[in-house]
Amino acid sequence: MKNFLVKMAYNGAAYHGFQRQNNAVAVQQVVEEAIESLTGKRASINGCSRTDAGVHAREYYFSFETDSGINCRGLIFGLNDRLPDDIAILDCREAPLDFHARFCCRGKEYRYLVHNSEIKDPFYKDTVYRSWFPIDAQKLDRAAKAFVGEHDFKAFCSAECDKENTVRKIYRFDVRRSGDIVEFIVAGSGFLYNMVRIMVGTLLYINEGKIAENAIPALIEARDRTKAGITAPPQGLYLNKVFYDDKGFDLT
């Protein structure tokens, strides 16, 4: 028996998130069907994270066990030959049999992209969120630093979140502008359902003057979802990096 750790990337526009669904097509289903087609054996893959419908991943890991004789090179090229163009296998390596892509994960980095322009760009369709309201990236970068540290993020998760423990540790949160693109970069030990999108939506509310610039500590303390900002749309969100050790949490 082998346990493979596989790195992939995907454009999530056509999928109802990563996790297999009963009534919609998800990334997990498509990848598992490709593995079965390649190896002749059914496989259940363990993803490093759930992603929402329409959310993308530049770096996503999954692990799975198989008694197939295939090697990593065969998996990479065989799966890429069978997968649609919006999913790509980037790398593969053998892992210990007790390795699990989700439970061994130490942290993740997400990036949220906003096209800050009054004029739409057709090449950003389904991959970037557009906001015409002028964004003060420096102001939001200052405000975002209040998220850094270990906090109870009850106010920044969906009402559908099923986690009893809503304490998470954020290692960094930066907001940067490059031309018309404003990028929100957040890395942490873990994230709650819709947490990144709600944090970004809250910062956008701060930008528009709907929430005070210094309000984030009070919002965290209140633990009240109704006091935070909107849930930003999914198309701007990318799972950017996945950490299996402590290196990279302080990357700039």
Long-range contacts of 130-137 (CB under 8 A, 24+ apart): 131/204, 133/204, 133/207, 133/208, 135/177, 135/182, 135/204, 135/207, 136/207, 137/175, 137/176, 137/177, 137/182
Half-sphere exposure of 117 (CA within 13 A, CB side): 14
What is the β-pairing status of strands 87-95 and 167-178? unpaired
Could you give the angle at the alpha carbon of 86 between the alpha carbons of 83 and 89, nearest 5°? Answer: 55
* CB 172 within 8 Å of CB 185: yes
Q: Is 52 a catalytic residue?
A: yes
Which residues, in sequence order, are bridge partners of residue 60?
A: 8
Rounded distance, CA 198 to CA 129, Å? 14
Rounded distance, CA 162 to CA 110, Å? 21
Q: Which of 52, 86, 136, 162 is catalytic?
A: 52
Catalytic annotation, residues:
52
